[in-house]
Structure 1
Amino acid sequence: MISAEYCRLMARYNTWQNASLVTAADRLTHEDRWKERGAFFRSIAATLNHLYWADALILERLKGNVRPEQTIKHSLANPSDWEAFKALRLQRNEEIEAWSARLRDADLNGMLVWNPGDGATRIEKPKMLVAIQLFNHQTHHRGQVHAMLTAAGADPEPTDLHLLA
């Protein structure tokens, strides 16, 4: 279905697109980044925070952590400081790229099991599906941020994969 090379490509794409959104959002004020814009997570900043935390949770699952929510607390409001967010986002991008660099095709075989939230529910999914979800989820929400940034007068880069250097 997918390969380690696909994950490396998508990890590079993730880094590129996150940099594009952050650069565009840099042109906005703090208030403009947090302004209600009618999106699912309301604002540019909250949506970017959701992505940051969701990336951490999904990546931990891919690494075999069955209870990542015990140490990773999802927050739409944190980080609230833009400079702190940018530093953390860069670290998360590097973490995803490092994970994909070590990945072998065989690592994508088999099942992953985890217990989200309260731990009462056991979820079991193919590793490939979870890896696809990591990248698909990013693309989905980055599209929302791209639209909000464009509406706010910022100018993020195109999102076409063939433009990735």
Structure 2
Amino acid sequence: MPAPEDVLMLARYNAWQNREMKAVLEALPTAVPHKPCGLHFGTILATVNHLLWADRIWMSRLADWPRPEGGIASSVDLTPTLSVWAPERFRADARLIVWAEGLRAASLHGDLRWYSAVTGREQVKPVAQCVLHLFTHQAHHRGQIHAAITAQGAQGWTSDLVFTPDGGP
């Protein structure tokens, strides 16, 4: 089970990675994030939208954030452009860090219950597993975006956890 300080480290890493990714995405030609590039959600913009939506849905379960509208299918349309996405993403990252700073070991014990539209039934999973899923889901899709960017000949960003600045490992 992760300790609260592990969750805080992951929240800080997540925010750093999103800042790094944003910088790379903003340096690309404007059309690139909207262009189909073989990602599971089709485009880079759709994928970053899905990640923001997924963070919000998980945090609605873990910390009573407002539940985002729609489901996975509509998650890709959360924002129309990177310039609209960016401030929403960074507000969510800041809230994740504040949440992680307030975690106590007892917060990571027990089970989380929710109805999953994906499975069509109630789910019951350990809270700690759900918290770790939140961050591994981010890393998974950011890795896809990194690969899509480098496949187009652009320079990616450093994604190693050990290089997280300010409060990393």
Taking structure 1 as the reference length, what is the TM-score of the superposition? 0.90
Q: Tell me how large the CA RMSD over aligned residues is.
A: 2.0
| Native 8 Å contact 1:52 1:89 kept in 2 | yes
| Native 8 Å contact 1:23 1:156 kept in 2 | no
Match of 2:46 in 1: 46
- Counterpart residue type for residue 160 of structure 2: D
- Counterpart residue type for residue 144 of structure 2: Q
Match of 2:3 in 1: 3
> 1:96-139 CA deviation, whole Å, 9 max, x = no partner?
11110111111000011111339962111100010010011011
Q: Does 1:81 align with 2:78?
A: no
> 1:76-95 CA deviation, whole Å, 9 max, x = no partner?
12201221101101111011
Gaps spanning 5+ residues in structure 1: where? none
- Counterpart residue type for residue 32 of structure 1: V
| Native 8 Å contact 1:64 1:112 kept in 2 | no
| Percent identity between the two aligned chains | 33
| Native 8 Å contact 2:53 2:78 kept in 1 | no
| Native 8 Å contact 2:50 2:78 kept in 1 | no
Distance between the aligned counterparts of 1:119 and 1:21, measured in 2?
31
Distance between the aligned counterparts of 1:127 and 1:10, measured in 2?
15
Match of 2:129 in 1: 129
Query: Paired residues, what number?
Result: 162
Q: What SS does the corresponding residue of 2:42 show, helix, strand or coil? A: coil
- Counterpart residue type for residue 125 of structure 1: K
Q: What SS does the corresponding residue of 1:2 show, helix, strand or coil? A: coil
Runs of 4+ in 1 over 6 A off after TM superposition: none
Q: What SS does the corresponding residue of 2:125 show, helix, strand or coil? A: strand
Q: What SS does the corresponding residue of 1:10 show, helix, strand or coil? A: helix
Taking structure 2 as the reference length, what is the TM-score of the superposition? 0.88
Gaps spanning 5+ residues in structure 2: where? none
